[in-house]
Copies of this chain bind each other. A is one copy, B any other.
Amino acid sequence: MSAREREVLEAVERLRRLRPKLKDELITLAHGAGGRASRVLVEALFLEELGNPVLAELEDAARIDGLALTTDSYVVKPLFFPGGDIGELAVNGTINDLAVSGARPLCLCAGFVIEEGFPIADLRRIAASMGEAARAAGVPVVAGDTKVVERGHGDGVYVTTTGIGVIDEGVELSPANVQVGDRILVSGPMGDHGVAIMIARGALELEVELESDTAPLHALVGDLLASCEGVRWLRDPTRGGLATVLNELALATELAVVLDEGAIPVRPEVTGACEILGIDPLYVANEGKLVAVVAREHAEEALEALRADRVARDAAIVGEVQPDPPGLVVLETSFGGRRIVDMLVGDPLPRIC
């Protein structure tokens, strides 16, 4: 069997997985990791029970009556980490889900589940950080709720933020727009957030200076859309990293995403930490990075537009959309080989966001 035949067989197998069955009896951490198990849980349980056409699109934000809506629960551990904390993350992460849907964020709501015994000073620090991030982004937190659970039934604080945005006329970002030949861009180095969290947990026996990349992306997206035609689809590669969002793209389009390993920016500290942890940086979460699919003829223009913004000065073109193998992500390695980048299995980095 040739490599090509094997790829096609794998693609068929992959497409079969499009209608997943939920065989597990108990929830595992993998169900929360954003990879295959999460997808199966969402499709075979939540979509089935809650199903409606808007939810079924499974985009980062739902679109209804010209509004974009998105909700995210944050359970990151530790609550405070180099470069940010759960409060800032809960503001920026939800703003970014709106931004990559092409929506202008209007406001946020926040629900807090707090554990009995949690220090008020820490809660204030988190709220202050949310307030600062919200003011910096120009997106106010307009509604909230606070619940308290008994000691031992939470983990300090969990925050759920919901974002409401407005989609301007003419903006339509969708996997349906993606065509063969389109280029894949990322706005900067991959994996900073996830590795910063692992370092904050003391999981690494080394001194690495690395901060979470948490940042709001709505201004970057606004500039990109205003200055550049041919932007097909955007995502922020959080849980499950670049590999996961591109797998979702490949599945939705039934096209192939071919990545050039050498072109993907990854900081040496992240590469090193991932080697020690035995994980692939492509699966590691980012919290201030954009993945953009742009028409070939506008790719350089988009790259310039991204690099003009401080948060994306290290943007790069990292791959392209090809017809084969359909539904798969393929990495062309620096050594001239090719390997399939599968969907995330298990959860190597639990509670990263």
Q: Which residues of B contact A33 (CB under 8 A)?
A: 148
A49 CA / B124 CA spacing, docked (Å): 7
A29 CA / B116 CA spacing, docked (Å): 6
With beta carbons under 8 angstroms apart, the residue of B24, B70, B118, B154 that contacts A120 is: B24
Please state if A143 and B61 are interface contacts (CB–CB under 8 Å): yes
With beta carbons under 8 angstroms apart, the residue of B25, B32, B49, B124 that contacts A121 is: B25
A143 CA / B101 CA spacing, docked (Å): 13
Q: A31-B146, A116-B29, A160-B160 are in contact. Are A71 and B350 (CB under 8 A)?
A: no
A24 CA / B119 CA spacing, docked (Å): 9
Q: Which residues of B contact A114 (CB under 8 A)?
A: 27, 31-32
Q: With an 8 A cutoff between CB atoms, is A4 at the interface?
A: no
Q: With an 8 A cutoff between CB atoms, is A26 at the interface?
A: yes
Q: With an 8 A cutoff between CB atoms, is A171 at the interface?
A: no
- Which A residues, 200 to 241, have Cβ-Cβ distances below 8 Å to chain B? none
Q: With an 8 A cutoff between CB atoms, is A20 at the interface?
A: no
- Which A residues, 89 to 140, have Cβ-Cβ distances below 8 Å to chain B? 106-107, 109-121, 123-124, 127-128, 130-131, 134, 140
Stretch from A50-58, A248-256, A259-267, A293-301 at the B interface: A50-58
A148 CA / B54 CA spacing, docked (Å): 24
Please state if A51 and B131 are interface contacts (CB–CB under 8 Å): yes
- Which A residues, 23 to 70, have Cβ-Cβ distances below 8 Å to chain B? 24-33, 38, 41-42, 45-46, 48-52, 54-55, 61-62, 64-65, 67, 69-70
Q: Which residues of B contact A127 (CB under 8 A)?
A: 45-46, 48-50
The residue in chain B whose Cβ has the minimal distance to the Cβ of A148 is: B32
Nearest CB in chain B: distance from A208 CB, A: 25
Please state if B149 and A155 are interface contacts (CB–CB under 8 Å): yes
A107 CA / B26 CA spacing, docked (Å): 30
Q: Which residues of B contact A54 (CB under 8 A)?
A: 107, 140, 142-143
Q: Which residues of B contact A26 (CB under 8 A)?
A: 116-120
Please state if A69 and B107 are interface contacts (CB–CB under 8 Å): yes
Q: Which residues of B contact A111 (CB under 8 A)?
A: 71-73, 111, 160, 162
Q: Which residues of B contact A310 (CB under 8 A)?
A: none
Q: With an 8 A cutoff between CB atoms, is A150 at the interface?
A: yes
Nearest CB in chain B: distance from A337 CB, A: 35
A64 CA / B140 CA spacing, docked (Å): 11
Q: With an 8 A cutoff between CB atoms, is A170 at the interface?
A: no
Q: With an 8 A cutoff between CB atoms, is A180 at the interface?
A: no
